[in-house]
Structure 1
Amino acid sequence: METPPFPKPESLEAALALQRALAQRVVLEGSLEGVRLLAALDASHKKGKPLVAVAVLYHLERGPLFVGRGKVPEEELFPYIPGLLSFREAPAYLEALRHLPEAPEALLVDGQGIAHPRGLGIASHLGVHLDLPSVGVAKSLLFGRPEAPLPQEAGSAVRLLSPQGQPLGYAYRSRTGVRPLFVSPGHRVGLEEALAFVRRLPTRFRLPEPLRLAHLEAGRALGALD
């Protein structure tokens, strides 16, 4: 698939300003009910190595179809700063997506959507940049708080709220007894629709299967650099 160039900010101030501007373009409406073909994105990095990213092209009825890979040399990476992860990882994700034989209908990203201090986690940033529906599924909480304790049963969910009480997404228990995931809309999808989409993904372990495969592929790609 074709992807537009990704601007690299020259300073921390420029990165923050760009995040705030792009956050104003996030659309929190839309359904993923008819989506069948998605790209699941994950990345991996070890000091002294390039950052590697993978895009698993996944069909909800036929399973994984193709794996695109991208990498950015360590010396070209944007500094690691919490809340600015997209500037570090997005160039590798875009390269991985360019290797896919066809464009996905939506993005499923290992990271945050709007559950982010400035409302623009990497799922939102990529969604706006590519004008694609996107959903963030994070393994840890970056911003916000669950409004209530999360039950242990599989499929349980409670809303994530900002400090001002605005809904940001959901804490979600994908399997009984496992640690929660944090689901937030990225772009062109509503809050409840993002959760509904993640709930209908095949899930054998903690991560939805498309993201689990992306996580495994990213680890393999990093290991291949040794």
Structure 2
Amino acid sequence: MHIIQRHEWVLTAEEATAIQQSLRKDIVTIDDFSTIRHVAGVDVGFECDGTVTRAAIAVLNLDDLQVQDRAIARRPTTFPYIPGFLSFREVPAVLDALAKITVIPDLLLCDGQGIAHPRRFGIACHIGLLANVPAIGVAKSLLVGKHAELADDRGSWQPLIHKGETIGAALRTRPGTKPLYISPGHRVSLETAIAYVMRCTTKYRLPETTRHAHKLASGPAIDQPAPPDESSPQQMSLDL
């Protein structure tokens, strides 16, 4: 995968803000891709009291959602935790992980925001733009915006509005659970983003892409995932 490094990563918050404002003009929020065969989950965890960033990529077949490739990369953490600047803390390791995979995904589902961000440039935008791959933000919590109440049916959604602009959607992927917050990252429209998230979601709240990437990013500190234990309520608590 060809990665374009468009800026440095050791930055102040003010410099990071300027980069977000500069790069957001290059984000494409209409469908700009052909056939989607492989989808990838992107997630990040931390080791050694947060001093090491651990990024994971899990590439799945879209048809059967079976894992075809996976990679883990680690880097020293160089940017502090500041809401709205997640990508500057996590993306360097994500790009290292993307460089390791051999099955190139046609679409990325990133754990975090796309344009549903104060400056319309969340982590899914950042990764999608630098890797030039269609990307979707799949966030577990709301960062900015408001939405109407959702029905409890699987697949129900409401537009997420911020400052009069539709920036994403609150999406119910499983009845009786909290919604996910979906937004375009790059080269994907909102409606298409919702459709692919639902296509990647089975019986859990989170899409299978995110579930597999999360196990790699936050599981035992080894480069291969532990055998899954689908029967363990403790292990699956994040998905309920």
**Structure 2 length normalisation: TM-score?**
0.86
Structure 1 residues 172, 31: closer, same or farther in 2, change over 3 A? farther
Structure 1 residue aligned with 2:52, among 50, 53, 62?
A: 50
Using the alignment, how far apart are the partners of 2:50 and 2:82 within structure 1?
18
SS at match of 2:55: strand
Instruction: Mark the CA change 1:170 to 1:60 in structure 2 (over 3 Å): closer, same or farther.
Output: same
Match of 2:62 among 60, 63, 67: 60
* 1:80–1:157 Cα change, 3 Å: same
Identical pairs, percent: 41
Partner secondary structure for residue 219 of structure 2: helix
2:173 matches 1:174: yes
CA contact (8 A) 2:110 2:138 kept: yes
Instruction: Give 1:36's aligned residue.
Output: 37
Residue 204 of structure 1 is matched in structure 2 by 203
Question: Tell me, which stretches of 5 or more residues in structure 1 are unaligned?
Answer: none
Residues 149 and 203 from structure 1, CA distance in 2 versus in 1: closer, same or farther, beyond 3 angstroms? same
1:87 maps onto 2:98 in alignment: no
1:69 corresponds to which residue?
A: 72
SS in structure 2 opposite 1:24? Answer: helix
Q: Which residue of 1 aligns with 2:22?
A: 21
Whole-angstrom CA distance in 2 between matches of 1:33 and 1:203: 24
Deviation at 1:175, TM superposition (A): 0.6
TM-superposed CA distance for 1:3, in Å, is: 2.1
Change (3 A) 1:213 1:207: same
- Deviation (angstroms), 1:196: 1.4
Q: Which residue in the other structure is 2:4 paired with?
A: 4
User: What does residue 193 of structure 1 align with?
Assistant: 192
Q: Is the 8 A contact 2:152 2:176 kept in 1?
A: yes
Aligned with 1:65: secondary structure? strand
Q: Does structure 1 retain, via aligned residues, the 8 Å contact 2:11–2:79?
A: no
Matched ranges for 1:58-137 at <5 A: 58-62=60-64, 63-74=66-77, 77-137=78-138
TM-score norm. by structure 1 comes to: 0.91
Shift of the alpha carbon at 1:191?
1.3
Q: What letter is aligned with 1:117?
A: P
Q: Is the 8 A contact 1:33 1:197 kept in 2?
A: no
**1:100 partner amino acid:** I
CA distance in 1, matches of 2:10, 2:50: 23
Residues in 2 aligned to 1:10 and 1:125: alpha-carbon distance in whole angstroms? 15
Q: Specify the alignment match of 1:151 in structure 2.
A: 151
Instruction: Tell me: CA distance 1:220–1:21, structure 2 relative to 1, closer, same or farther (3 Å).
Output: same
Which amino acid in 1 is paired with 2:135?
S
AA of the residue aligned to 1:86: S
Listed as ranges, the gaps of 5+ residues in structure 2 are 224-240
After superposition, the CA RMSD in angstroms is 1.8
Describe the shift of the 1:172–1:61 C-alpha distance in structure 2 as closer, same or farther (beyond 3 A): same
